[in-house]
Amino acid sequence: MLGIIEITSWHYAGFLACVLIFLALDLGVFHKSAHVVKFREAIGWTTLWVTLSFVFGLFIAPALINGWEKQDTVEFITGYIIELSLSMDNVFVIALIFTYFRVPLQFQHRVLFWGILGALVMRGALIAAGAAIIQQFAWTLYLFGAFLLFTGIKMMFVSDEGVHPEKNPVLRLTKKFFPVTPEFHGQKFSLREHGKLLLTPLSLVLLMVETTDLIFALDSIPAIFAITTKPFIVFTSNVFAILGLRSLYFVLAGAIDYFRYLKVGLSLVLVFIGVKMLIDPHGHDPKWFQVKIESTMSLIIVGAIIATSMAMSVTAGRREKQSRNDSKNS
């Protein structure tokens, strides 16, 4: 029988303190001046965040938390991979937002940095609310499962609608109360002219990124509750996935065309997780039947789906490129 993880407020405080230190070093030291993040730098940061995530799940958490067992590590890694995978779809939407607003490359990292701070607060609130609801009303896991199943099927058959800032209620409300400058002013989000506060287009981009992450969080957070209902694991796996989102953006944004089947893979992940939640609800005693899917098996299935979709995407991209070269040479 698995032990009970003994999580105190000090664990949360210590974890958040480390995250804030990393973010302060990121913005205050490594990215103090605005510059274009090249592919090589992005790969390095992505590798660092992925490594830190696995080190935390495999070594740090088991060493510092009483009751942390192998099953908890598997749940953390599975949850992290799910959250990171679903973040890939968010990356492509962010790329569309940056393209729409014509955000200079050297300012994109700063937008993502502040966007991540907002995302951490929003996701923390959503996770706390979700955990409290599940604890009081365990049957809501069935609702989450049905929602994820519907979302996965919809994602598979409905094409992207693109970016429409004019439909964003947050942006419309902001423009009502604050005037917006027609041009960017460096990496500033706001400025004062004649004592009047003005927002720059960069602030609108930040609001779009924040609201986009909130929408994606409504899919990704219920998804991880299919793996575990332990709030600390849900929270930490989400945080690590979000921290790696910035560097992941700069890795993937320039290669969107090479991941044409990734959306299909993500939709299949959501369908699988939705089905798992319906037939294997954690913390709820089913009245009819229950099919137990171990976390290790979930990790294997999710990893296989994502890896297959990416491999198919890369293969299709290479074949298309080869076909174009053959056509030019003929």
What pLDDT digit, counting tens, does each position of 121-149 carry? Answer: 888 888 888 888 888 887 788 888 898 89
pLDDT digits (tens, 9 = 90+) for 39-93: 788 888 889 999 999 999 999 999 989 889 989 999 999 999 988 888 877 777 8
Tokens of 48: 């660092």
What is the Cα–Cα distance from 252 to 53, expressed in whole angstroms? 19
Q: Look at residues 25, 15, 42 and name the one whose alpha carbon lies nearest to residue 124.
A: 15
pLDDT at residue 231 tops 70: yes
154-179: buried (b, 16+ CB within 10 Å) or exposed (e) per residue? ebeeeeeeebebeebeebeeeeeeee
- How many C-beta neighbours within 10 Å does residue 2 have? 9
pLDDT at residue 1 tops 50: no
3-state secondary structure of 193: strand
**Burial of 29 (C-beta count, 10 Å sphere; 0-12/13-18/19+):** exposed
CB 277 within 8 A of CB 229: no
Q: Quote the pLDDT of residue 254.
A: 62
Q: Quote the pLDDT of residue 222.
A: 86
What is the Cα–Cα distance from 266 to 300, expressed in whole angstroms? 15
What is the Cα–Cα distance from 79 to 132, expressed in whole angstroms? 19
Tell me phi and psi for residue 109, to 5 degrees. Answer: -65, -40
pTM confidence score: 0.84
Amino acid, res. 181: T
pLDDT at residue 285 tops 60: no
Q: Quote the pLDDT of residue 43.
A: 87
Q: Give the relative orientation of helices 70-101 and 105-136 as an angle to the nearest 10 degrees.
A: 140
Where does 56-104 have alpha helices with state H?
A: 61-64, 70-101
pLDDT digits (tens, 9 = 90+) for 104-123: 888 888 888 888 888 888 88
196-199 vs 190-193, strand pairing mode = antiparallel
What is the Cα–Cα distance from 94 to 30, expressed in whole angstroms? 22
What is the Cα–Cα distance from 239 to 84, expressed in whole angstroms? 10
Tokens of 285: 């005693």
Domain boundaries, the chain: 12-321
Beta strand residue intervals within the chain, DSSP E = 190-193, 196-199
Confidence of residue 281 (pLDDT cuts 50, 70, 90): low
Kindly state the DSSP code that residue 33 receives in the 8-state scheme: S
190: which strand partners? Answer: 199
